[in-house]
Chains A and B, each alone.
Chain A
């Protein structure tokens, strides 16, 4: 039994759990390689054209796995925490794949609910059944994987550089080096280290609830906008860099919420899509860092032109 695991979307959040669980089942795991040009081309061709880049890349990863395994793990994520939802495309991901890519091997369809161990156990048992493993085995590897997941802490906090940039956005944009054209390395070359939302304590991110009108139903409002707001308000970083994919419905709200909260704090929004030229990204990142350097050298915390021009 070969089990395929696509390296896309929230694989970047749940990789420890998924890998540990599948290993526990005793199956051979086929993990897709890091995103590359072929995966992108395959995904763009298979997916509907107005989906966002990460969803297209995910289609590419699944397409890569199609003839190489007997079962593909596709987490259908409906909620990230209790009553904190996520993009509808995640909820309908298995259907999108089944209907866009013909000839798929079986895929997992139950909701993947890491915030609720009971429901997650059900997912694991169902996945175990599909993989031909007994219930006992699935339960045992679930508890192992769950413990391993609880112990891991993702997140980057690079304090070795002169400047520090808060890198915001969805995990799949931040950690997929192909999608963001390795913006972390580019920043590093310009002597800037990054900090991501996972390195900021939950209590600090929760501060945002006090400023909102209604309780937000997307987890990323707290995670991403909350992190950005905390970093900007406390001047913990020199600037914010928001990686957002073109046509992302959640970011269309988040970016503007964040802009409203941080005022004139420097923020660069990079839109990622399948056509993005690397030179354009480089130019913008360099210009942004030039601005940050000058800001620090001049010792003022307001841009001389009165309003920030790098937002958008």
Chain B
């Protein structure tokens, strides 16, 4: 239907995009070509429907432009600089918080706040505090002394056991050896005595012979 090569020109014409020099030529063609005239009429109908429909619409409200808010969103060098500085400050704060928290937990706890003195103490209160502190120190020293003494006693017992056991064993050995020697000595004496008596008996018997 129509002249296919002229369809785009017909649309250009109704949309005001056709070069002025071509408009007259196209008009003469449409006057003679019924198909193109019908095409043109159809496109004009579409355009008119759209034009009627595509009109300004009432806004529910006018836009409220807040320069201060909008300016915060404007990316400028200074804004970026400030944003970078703010981010760096936050990062440094986080880093310091992590470091100090770790030091306070595992280090010497430098962040412990000193107790504040709200009022001066009386002499008696000071004396009581000193006495209490001295008492605590004395009790502590006593406990340490007792612990030390118990430890020394235990060490001594252990050392004595370590030294006396071999001495006892040696004494027992010596005792048993002396006993053996004594017994041997007794036997030897008995033999000597027996021999001596035997000798004395032989010398006396000839004299008693007639």
A and B associate in one complex: no
Please give the residue numbers on chain B whose beta carbons come within 8 Å of chain A beta carbons, in ascending order: none
| Chain A residues proximal to chain B, CB less than 8 Å | none
